[in-house]
Amino acid sequence: MGAKAKKALKKNMKKVSASAAAAASELAVVQNPKPSADFLPLAGGPARKAPVTKTIVENKATVLYIGRIPHGFYETEIEAFFAQFGTVKRVRVARNKKTGKSKHFGFIQFEDPDVAEIAAGAMHDYLLLEHMLQVHVIPPEHVKPNLWKGVKCHYKPVDWVQIERKQHNKERTLEEHRKLLQKVVKREKRRRKNIEAAGIEYECPELVGNTQPVPKKIKFSED
């Protein structure tokens, strides 16, 4: 066999081996496909993944939670203080329904979501009147409709002194006066017993008043 024939034989053998290797690799890919590969590999080439595109979620949170609100820092003060960050839409401080006193937490809403995020980052753990404010952004899906219930109501503190004064000075019937006096007499007797048991010599003044029950009305027949 000549030199030319040997060279031709070697070329044919290389072609046959390359085609056999390509067929084997394609068969292996078909039998054992890789689920993580997004592109089919070339003959003998590595599998490649598609580039991951990150979806940017639009920030729509405009409501902040404010906790540990100090005494005297209410709706008007909160709105004036947080207006330095941006336009404030509404403010609500949680209050007691009976007394109208603050529960030391509330909510504030801005017009711009970016302003709300900046305000939360700047005011969280901010020392104000010896209180560390706790400010957090509330996601829109957690903002319930009743969150702003009573936002425009102006609570007035209950004057319990005035209520007790009216209760004390109200007009009473004779029977009611007698019952009050009987209670006073019972307390006085209890007080005298305690004084005697303590061995203290003290002359208690006598109570003046009629403690007898009111006589029942007698109905006379017309006969």
Say which amino acid occupies 28. Answer: A
Per-residue DSSP letters for 138-189? EPGGG--GGGGTTTT-------HHHHHHHHHHS---HHHHHHHHHHHHHHHH
Reading the chain (223 residues) residue by residue, the pLDDT tens digits are 566 666 666 666 666 566 666 655 655 555 555 555 555 555 656 666 666 666 666 778 899 999 999 999 999 999 999 999 999 999 999 998 878 889 999 999 999 999 999 999 999 999 999 999 999 999 999 998 888 888 877 777 778 889 899 988 999 899 998 898 899 899 999 999 999 899 888 887 877 655 455 555 555 555 5
Does 97 map to a domain? yes
Which structural domain range is residue 183 located in?
170-197
Does 181 map to a domain? yes
pTM, rounded to two decimals: 0.49
Out of 83, 116, 148, a domain closes at: 148
Does 99 map to a domain? yes
Q: Which two tokens stand for residue 136?
A: 């957090």
Total tally of structural domains belonging to the chain = 2
CATH number, position 111: 3.30.70.330
Q: Name residue, tokens 């024939």.
A: 5
Does 133 map to a domain? yes
Question: Do 116 and 188 sit in the same domain of this protein?
Answer: no
Does 24 map to a domain? no
Question: Do 88 and 127 sit in the same domain of this protein?
Answer: yes
Does 114 map to a domain? yes
Does 69 map to a domain? yes
